[in-house]
Amino acid sequence: MKKIIIASTSTLHGGGYLDYLTDTLKEHFKSCSSLLFVPYARPGGISHDDYTKKAAEFFSSLNINVKGIHEFENPVEAVQNAEAIFTGGGNTFLLVTQLYQNKVMDAIKTVVEKGTPYLGTSAGSNICGLTMETTNDMPIIYPPSFDTLGLIPFNINPHYLDPIAGSTHMGETRETRIKEFHQFNPQPVLGLREGSWLEVNADIITLRGSLQARLFRQNTEPEEIETGTDLSWLK
Amino acid sequence: MKKIIIASTSTLHGGGYLDYLTDTLKEHFKSCSSLLFVPYARPGGISHDDYTKKAAEFFSSLNINVKGIHEFENPVEAVQNAEAIFTGGGNTFLLVTQLYQNKVMDAIKTVVEKGTPYLGTSAGSNICGLTMETTNDMPIIYPPSFDTLGLIPFNINPHYLDPIAGSTHMGETRETRIKEFHQFNPQPVLGLREGSWLEVNADIITLRGSLQARLFRQNTEPEEIETGTDLSWLK
């Protein structure tokens, strides 16, 4: 039975790391005393060790012991033996490259589908979708594939950003980029604003947090989704 | 002898398509009566035909006849026979995928190095660098490689955007993304603000337009480059 939190961001402006999710994570990981952290996305180039320390600090307040996947000699076994898994944000291209190079993409998919509780933030949420093709990140490294975990039957756009009124910048808006994605790909894209997350319980997918999310479907006008909405029908 | 314009954007806020570059392009293409347009990047999903029409409209005012590369049965020959080449902006992943699929990446490199005048805007500028790994675009399609034309010995970040003062958005700034790029890649990255361009004449690379550009080098603090600066030393 799947048990997944897919969060747009780890941190809200002015808040501490994972702070806004504390109550949710207490409940989500209530049966766990340890957690495997996947630091591969290395935000800002931070080291695996330093990133793992940051996650460990937060989870110590929940009495959960954190170990980084890079500390294990056999990362596939580490995934298979994990009580819970958290993939942190950073660069999605780097994350996906490392997941493939260490052969843990399939391993994570298998255990999470069987019920290992999973948390993803930002890049760690992006990989829960069918592909990483709706990431906002810079392609700093060439991954073997853009296919990701497919734990949900659509794609995620984390840190979803509405067009900025009055902007004079001519770069594409997020909405234009997702429209371009739909020229070549059929799956829906859920734009998760910072502060929103998806809660997956078995086959029920629910939008959580105080904000609406923006849903993009091929050949359809984008629509706003209310928090609390059951999105299990979406594919 | 290389003769290249590498522009951050095709269009300035409130201006018409290529308007701000009119005088520059009159000079750049003064010996040409025809131009081959590469519409592969398809901004917003526009068709090759519609995109080519848009380019043709502008260049008719310069008495230059535009044909799209998609109109030719043999795109490699079209490149080899072109008097001038213009690659328009849009999605860099799509552009690079199409350049490889149609086997014109090498052909364009060869003729431009031999002296065919080239204009790139946005995605069409991105590909002038060593790799497309500093694009801002969404990875909507998986290209066979991230390597690009390498007409200049560094990378371009077009539509360069300074951090927005007071922003509460937690997605990475452009500067953070480029810093992540430099964790894995040694080449310099030139952030070209909208309204800036590089003029390449043989081996001389000069920053043009009224703005400064922002130069990022591995293990070095970013620095501002004045317009008019000769960047031939940069690699």
pLDDT of residue A172 exceeding 90: no
Q: A33: how many CB neighbours lie within 10 A of its CB?
A: 11
Parallel/antiparallel/unpaired status of strands B85-87 and B34-38: parallel
Q: Where are the domains of chain B?
A: 3-225
In this predicted structure, which of A130-134, A168-172, B33-37, B51-55 has the lowest mean pLDDT? A168-172
Q: Is A167 a catalytic residue?
A: no
The values of phi and psi at residue A181, to 5°, are -55, -40
Given this model, what pLDDT does residue A164 score? 78
Rounded to the nearest integer, the mean pLDDT of chain A is 96
**From B138, B139, B183, residue closest to A45, measured CB to CB:** B183
Q: Is A122 a catalytic residue?
A: yes
Percent of the residues in chain A that have a pLDDT greater than 70, as a whole number: 100
Q: Is B47 a catalytic residue?
A: no
Higher pLDDT, A172 or B30: B30
Helical axes B92-101 vs B105-114, angle rounded to 10°: 90
Q: State which residues of chain B have pLDDT below 50.
A: none
pLDDT of residue A170 exceeding 90: no
- ipTM, 2 dp: 0.93
Cβ–Cβ gap A169/B161 under 8 Å: yes
- Residues near A175 by Cβ (< 8 Å), separated by ≥ 6? A163, A216, A222
Cβ–Cβ gap B134/A138 under 8 Å: yes
| Euclidean distance between CA atoms A199 and A201, whole angstroms | 6
Given this model, what pLDDT does residue A162 score? 86
Residues of chain A that touch chain B, judged by Cβ-Cβ distance less than 8 Å? 9, 11-14, 42-45, 90-91, 93-94, 132-142, 145-146, 159, 161, 168-172, 176-185, 194
Per residue, what are the HEC states of B73-130? Answer: CCHHHHHHHCCCEEECCCCHHHHHHHHHHCCCHHHHHHHHHHCCCEEEECHHHHCCCC
pLDDT of residue A108 exceeding 80: yes
How far, in Å, are A198, A227, B182 from residue A205 at the CA level?
6, 11, 38
What CATH class does B3-225 carry?
A: alpha beta
Cβ–Cβ gap A176/B139 under 8 Å: no
| Euclidean distance between CA atoms B207 and B211, whole angstroms | 9
